[in-house]
Amino acid sequence: MTKLDELFVRLRAEKKKAFIPFITAGDPSLEATAKILRRLDQLGCSIAEIGIPYSDPIADGPVIQASYTRALGRGIKLSQIFDTVKQTAPSLKMPLVTMLSYAVVFRKGPAQFVHEAKQAGFCGAIVPDLLVEESDELSAVCRGEDFNLIQLVTPTTPRDRAVRIAERSSGFIYFVSVTGITGERQELPPGLLDQVTWLRQRTDLPICIGFGISQPEHVKILGPVADGIIVGSALVRRIIEGESAGEAAMLQNVDELVQRLMGAL
């Protein structure tokens, strides 16, 4: 089993849910990325999701788009991100996964990308713009390397297609809570719980829900049907808001949000 498989087996046995924060690699700096990862681990997060900055947004809302733009403006390279993760991952208890555009994978070649990502310390990848019909090559490489390929199901995904995506995924299924782009929202869409419950009856994979989750009330609503909760834009925003006041303020912002949301699980 991969690190993700082992994690979810343990969490299910303990009747616990995964809390999965997303951060952007290199925003506000790679040094800060390493410090934030260590703090998230200390706070007891289950998995950390690290976004690889890319110039063309996939489903990224304005907060994550802006963080990618800042990181790219500093000249952040994939090799630098891998080096930072390689230096940081051995000290962490939580597994690391990356979210990135397939264009980044394609430029490296699937086999080389997975090899380098695994060597850096990642155990899986989320590739939002990879269609399930075009995932055979990367999926085969990932299976051969015991590297999880985590795919997305959205509220508008036809049900037969959602089942195919589940069959091609490993580690967990990323269930997108809302149609559209990432970003903090006040309310979750009606019907979401029923959709997740329907999919759960058709796969043994853990289902983790992301997009728009920013409040303890969201976590309380989704916790009973989800295996994990993913929080991105809310955390990225608080990191950059705190950064202008110094490292201590930045990490304090991380502490406050994560503890508040984890407390609702």
Mean pLDDT of the chain: 92
So which residues are the catalytic ones?
Answer: 49, 60
191: left (phi over 0), alpha (psi -120 to 50) or beta: left
Strand segments, DSSP code E, in the chain are 18-24, 48-51, 96-99, 122-126, 148-150, 152-153, 173-176, 207-210, 228-231
Q: What's the CATH code of the domain at 192?
A: 3.20.20.70
- Peptide bond connecting 28 to the previous residue in cis, omega within 30 degrees of 0: yes
Q: Is the pLDDT reported for residue 3 higher than 60?
A: yes
Residue 63 tokens, joined: 């907060």
pLDDT of the residue at 185: 47
pLDDT score recorded for residue 192: 86
What pLDDT is stored for residue 183 in this prediction?
A: 43
Binned at pLDDT 50, 70 and 90, residue 179 comes out as: low
**How many structural domains does the chain have?**
1
Name the one residue in this structure whose structure tokens are 């997305």. 152
Can you give the residue range of the structural domain that contains 256?
A: 3-262
User: What is the DSSP secondary structure assignment for residue 24, as one 8-state letter?
Assistant: E
For the chain, the helix, strand and coil percentages under 3-state DSSP, each to the nearest 5? 50, 15, 35
Q: What is the pLDDT of residue 184?
A: 44
pLDDT of res. 177: 83
pLDDT of amino acid 67 = 94
pLDDT over 90 for what percent of the chain?
Answer: 83
What is the tens place of the pLDDT at every residue in 75-134? 999 999 999 999 999 999 999 999 999 999 999 999 999 999 999 999 999 999 999 999
Q: Tokens for 168, please give them.
A: 């091609």
Q: Which amino acid is at 248?
A: A
User: Average pLDDT of 48-62?
Assistant: 83
Residue 188 has pLDDT above 80, yes or no: no
DSSP codes of every residue in 201-220 = TT--S-EEEESS--SHHHHH
pLDDT of the residue at 181 = 45
Q: Rounded CA gap, 16 and 13, in Å?
A: 8
Q: Work out the percent of the chain whose per-residue pLDDT is above 70.
A: 94
pLDDT of residue 83: 98
User: Is residue 186's pLDDT more than 60?
Assistant: no
Could you give the CA distance from residue 11 to residue 14 in angstroms, rounded to a whole number?
A: 5
| pLDDT tens, position by position, 205-242 | 999 999 888 899 989 989 999 999 999 999 999 999 99
Amino acid symbol at 255: D
